[in-house]
Chain A
Amino acid sequence: MSKPVFVYVTYIASTPEKVFKALTDTDATAKFWFGNAVTSDWKVGSPVKFHREGKLIVSGKVLEHDAPRRLSYTFQSHHEPHNGTEKPSRVVIDLEQQRDQVKLTVTHDDFTPDSKVFASISNGWPLVLSSLKSYLETNRVLYAPWYEEQVKREAEKAAS
């Protein structure tokens, strides 16, 4: 087994069941994952798809679905500039109850050498995990920087 490339940890004042549900639910992911709605039947081998505004952003296959402890899927970026050209990497999400909180660990590995997806991910996960924490603890989601850019472009378009 190769050494994981990224390991991210966050603690959420919630239950493993609620966190697991949020990570696998279409409406919940659409809210905290900046519009990226996940769909899958979560059977091992089944496809996993993330769509944002009707566009396929990430696709993969379920590797493991052990509610509410572990969720794992392959991860292939379809958005700009990757457009599905890179081989899928692997995401493993572990949940562990620690007193009144949940320790959530994301390990992301199996990148191709010189992966470009790698760089986008290092910016993406901390934002997604902070947003998930906010969503579950205070029902508030965070803003993604790429949304600000989009809002700005739309405002400019409207003004011209």
Chain B
Amino acid sequence: MDEVFRALADGSRRELLDRLRAENGQTLGELCTRLAMTRQAVSKHLAILEEANLVATVWRGREKLHYLNPVPIHEIAERWIGKFERSRLQALSDMKKASETE
């Protein structure tokens, strides 16, 4: 779990996760095109995310595809969010979203 928090404690890595959330299954090259980061930096961040299991990879021929893996984040939520709190939190989050987009 330490690895997950360490991996998430960096804005660039969170941005990479956002990119994968928007479009899952991107190659390193695809991820680099719209980012103000060097290929080496992106590659290093992806390795840290993969190490923390926040990114899962699949080889398709010679291409390595990157997928956002939400399972560890889910495990964190399960640990601290109780059985009955979830629906209340969902209501709060919906309310926040609704009031922020108005």
- Partner-B contacts on A (CB < 8 A): 1, 3-11, 105, 107, 125-127, 129-130, 133-134, 142-143, 145, 148-149, 152
Contacts and interface: CB of A to CB of B under 8 A. Distances in A.
Contacts, number: 59
A9 B69 contact: yes
Contacts of B53: 9-11
Nearest to A131: B78
A148 B58 contact: no
Chain A interface main SS type: mixed
B74 A126 contact: yes
Q: Which 8 residue pairs spanning A and B have beta carbons closest together?
A: A7-B67, A126-B74, A9-B56, A7-B56, A10-B71, A126-B70, A126-B71, A3-B25
Given A148-B84, A148-B86, A9 B71 contact: yes
B93 interface: no
B75 interface: yes
A129 B73 CA distance: 12
A3 B61 CA distance: 11
